[in-house]
Amino acid sequence: MPRIFGGDYIMRKRMAGLFLIGMLMWSTVGVSALDNETGLFRDVTEMDWFYPHLAELQKHNTFSGLGNSTFGPDFFITVGDFAILLEKSVSFVNEMNGPFSETLDYIEPSEIASSFVAESTYIGDAAHPLTRYNAAKMMTFLTGSNTGADYEQFIPLIHDYELIPETYQDAVLEAYGKGLLSGYPDGTFKGEEFVTRAEAAIMVSKLIHEDRRSDLLEKVSAHETSLLEDNDIRTRLIETALEYQGVPYRWGGTSPSGFDSSGFIWYVFRENGIDIPRVSFDIYRFGDPINQDDLKPGDLVFFEGYRPGPSHGSIYIGDGQFVHSPSTGKTITIDSLSDPAYWGPKWYGAVRII
């Protein structure tokens, strides 16, 4: 029978456990009162973010501790342990017949995990810490696929989707679609990160209780609405800017009687309810830098004008063109980024405000 934990790993785990136990012994009596109240583990309280999910799993005695009545919420869970947790948790749910039928009391985690490994070459060794990628693989393997489900609609919610290896993309999208997994607050999935025991409790709780799953369809709808609003704002910015074609350049100007380059940008954005700095250098620092290939109408393009740096600003209107207030003696007009004589060589950079 293969061993589940390597010597170094179990030693680190034991050392961390000893440290945790020592900290608990040092803790105040108030913690013990919470332990008695929750009836779970000495290092878990009702205030913990994962508590409702863990408490639900413990009703079925599916998630064991690390010893000495501790749970170790921040410890990583292995592929093998997660496989056992999955099987124990779904075995009592009639509509979810797991792929295992053995008596779990007489089976090693490696044997259970091997069932997943047999189905997929991407899971890896049972003794390895579980990654979020593998968690998605294992959970969606248990639930089965929904023919015809449109999981690609969740791609916009995963900001690092392009970094997800192709072998995991379907599983991650399906896990999102079924509400089993969701991303971090910044919108990334970070599939290579290891799963803690606390996170595993939440994942499995969502797997067996549909009412605990994340409703990401609402986020998809909100994202689509946001895109529409974003496009609408960009359209309004361009329409506003083009209204002032022919207005003369005036140094320091910020009104339709005359604009300088940054004054024109500032006025157009203000007319659409968006507050930005007044001076070109400050506007450039205020926005998010983008590449020329990523330009959208409404983004801002800067050139080296009367002095080095982003001293001359303009509003990109699409098709390689921008509208701006050029210089003394000229009026607000449209020019091209590909102008080889002047604006092309003067390019400095671009930023996005919206």
In this predicted structure, which of 79-88, 143-152, 183-192, 244-253 has the lowest mean pLDDT? 143-152
Helix, strand, coil percentages (3-state) for the chain, rounded to 5, are 45, 10, 40
Mean pLDDT of 210-221: 61
Question: Both 191 and 112 in a single domain?
Answer: yes
The reported pLDDT for the residue numbered 18 is: 30
pLDDT-derived band at 276, boundaries 50, 70, 90: very high
Domain end point (choices 157, 179, 214): 214
**Residue 238: which CATH number?**
3.90.1720.10
Q: Are residues 227 and 206 in the same domain?
A: no
- Say yes or no to pLDDT of 248 above 60: yes
The winner for highest mean pLDDT among 180-194, 205-219, 292-306 is: 292-306
Average pLDDT over residues 196-223: 74
State yes or no: pLDDT of 135 exceeds 80.
yes
The domain of 256 spans: 219-352
Residue 198 lies in a domain: yes
Q: Does residue 210 carry a pLDDT above 80?
A: no
Sign of the CA dihedral running 74, 80, 84, 89: positive
For residue 215, name the pLDDT band (cuts at 50, 70, 90): low
- Residue 211, pLDDT above cutoff 80: no
Asked whether residue 309 falls in the same domain as residue 180, the answer is: no
pLDDT tier at 126, thresholds 50, 70, 90: confident
DSSP string, 60-74: TT----SBTTB--TT
Q: What is the pLDDT of residues 144-184, one digit of tens each?
A: 766 556 788 888 888 899 999 999 999 999 998 888 888 88
More confident residue, 287 or 156: 287
SS (H, E, C) 260-309: CHHHHHHHHHHHCCCCCCCCHHHHHHHCEEECHHHCCCCCEEEECCCCCC
**Which pair of tokens denotes residue 321?**
């063109």
Same domain, 228 and 190: no
What pLDDT was estimated at residue 136? 92
The total of structural domains in the chain comes to 2
pLDDT of residue 213: 72
291 with 320, same domain? yes
Whether 86 shows a pLDDT value over 90: the answer reads no
Most confident of the ranges 16-30, 55-69, 95-109, 263-277: 263-277
Judged by average pLDDT, the poorest of 86-95, 135-144, 172-181 is 86-95
Mean pLDDT confidence for 94-111 = 39
204 in the same domain as 263: no
